[in-house]
Structure 1
Amino acid sequence: MDLSASTVLVTGANRGLGRALTAELLSRGATVYAGARNPDQVDLPGATPIALDITDSASIAAAAKATGDVTVLINNAGISVGGNLLAGDPDGIRRDMDTNFYGTLSVVRAIAPQIAANGGGAILNVLSVLSWFTFPDLGAYCAAKSAQWSLTNALRVQLADQGIRVAGLHVGGMDTDMSRELDGPKTAPADVARLAADGLADGAYEIVVDDISRQVQGGLAGGVAALYPRLP
């Protein structure tokens, strides 16, 4: 894919990885719509701010109407309430699923027809190593990201005949506000954005950014014993 000839909509583009993705794509010559709940927070020269709340159907419809020439959609917007599935706030658990799964699905349903009408292109869903592995205290987020991975697999099959290639981005710790309280190594958002753009350009289905994500991906074939060795 020639990113310099692409028109990209990035959700959650005002900070963190979304901002880094927007900057990277602009540096490669792409036309970029920077979606954010508050578009006034988009501060990158060259980007076109778009008001977009992925949990609000009217906002999504307005964003789709305001664009029209999108060929690449990057579903980056998401939250992590961090709820324990047994003890956490049920409303928080629903917020994780409503945003990360249903929000992503809603944006795809609104924008995919636009991409198809423009001759095809790509969708990139920003996932996580936690779509493949679960920490109980982050169970709500992990469940939502697992659902988003399943969504990604369904979409790549359903949209292939429309010329839309659907990819998933898997990354472990990243140096953003969402993971500020987490320990361990963290990849700079600019590095993740560069690898994501490389993967899009190469037509990859799974873009696996770091060693921990590759390790967990490899462990999937080993089943429960490989992923959760502490279980009796």
Structure 2
Amino acid sequence: MGFDIDGKVALVTGSNRGIGKSIVEGLLGRGASKVYAGARKTANLAGLVERFGDRVVPVEIDLERPASVEAAASNRDVELVVNNAGILKAANLLLPEAEDALKAEFEVNVLGPMRMARAFSPVLAANGGGAFVQLNSVVSIKSFPDFATYCASKAASYSITQSLRSVLGKQGTQVVSVHPGPIATDMATSAGLQDVAEPPSVVVEAIVSALASGEFHAFPDSMARDLWKAYEGFARSVVEADLAGG
């Protein structure tokens, strides 16, 4: 299974900045006919609209509001969904505020992809299957104590993505799980990782490559690829294997 972006209609959440904005630009640069650019505030998408004209259609999507996700799915021509939106809350696990951080991150980073998949699965099915791309992280397989609650939410998101691969695969939908390390975004800066961060374009390249080749996992940057070298054997023989099907 492989997915060719050329001529396709995509929808990207969290499109107003960082990785999401780069994904919109990258898809259009590789021949996507139209991209629905999702953001909590569509006014923040004005720059993309000014640059690409009617090839970018602003759409209000807030992963914390299921109604907004369902409304976005009324765009019945979507063939590729890239769920990029997410939040990070730095919290000490031993302090009470860690519980609030974890709840907030699960609301967006875990329930968000579930809501997106539920809303868009019939749309993708009606359009021949298409593809669903979920932005996870290297922290989905390795926890870091300074961002422990975020790591936990991304680990849960990765688990959900594995199941979506099976569930959506039955309708011919390709699923890709993307695991970036530090990427040069506002989130990386707030986490103090700007000195080791790589440009968002590496994530776009990894997504395009995984879609074309039919790969489930995508590890875009230097840190991610180093981790993949150690993790690949387990991923191939366990995560990607059909252990239940015999």
TM-score, normalization: structure 1? Answer: 0.90
Q: 2:173 aligns with which of 147, 164, 185?
A: 164
Return the offset for 1:88.
Answer: 5.1
Question: In 2, Cα distance between the equivalents of 1:41 and 1:131?
Answer: 29
Whether 1:73 and 2:75 are equivalent positions in the alignment is no
Return the offset for 1:62.
Answer: 1.2
Return the offset for 1:82.
Answer: 1.9
Whether 1:214 and 2:225 are equivalent positions in the alignment is yes
SS in 1 for 2:175: strand
> Contact between 1:75 and 1:124, CA under 8 Å: does it hold in 2?
yes
RMSD of the alignment, in Å?
1.7
Question: In 2, Cα distance between the equivalents of 1:60 and 1:108?
Answer: 10
Superposition misfits of 4+ residues, deviation over 3 angstroms? 217-223
SS in 2 for 1:195: helix
Task: List alignment gaps of at least 5 residues for structure 1.
Answer: 224-232
Whether 1:60 and 2:63 are equivalent positions in the alignment is no
**Matching of residues 126-205 of structure 1 within 5 Å:** 126-181=135-190, 182-183=192-193, 184-205=195-216
Question: In 2, Cα distance between the equivalents of 1:97 and 1:84?
Answer: 16
Percent of aligned positions that are identical: 37
Q: 1:38 aligns with which of 19, 26, 41?
A: 41
TM-score, normalization: structure 2? Answer: 0.85
Amino acid at match of 1:4: D
SS in 1 for 2:177: strand
SS in 1 for 2:197: coil
- CA 92–121 in structure 1, closer or farther in 2 if over 3 Å, else same: same
Question: In 2, Cα distance between the equivalents of 1:199 and 1:157?
Answer: 17
Task: List alignment gaps of at least 5 residues for structure 2.
Answer: 235-246
* Paired position in structure 1 for 2:91: 83
Q: 1:7 aligns with which of 5, 9, 12?
A: 9
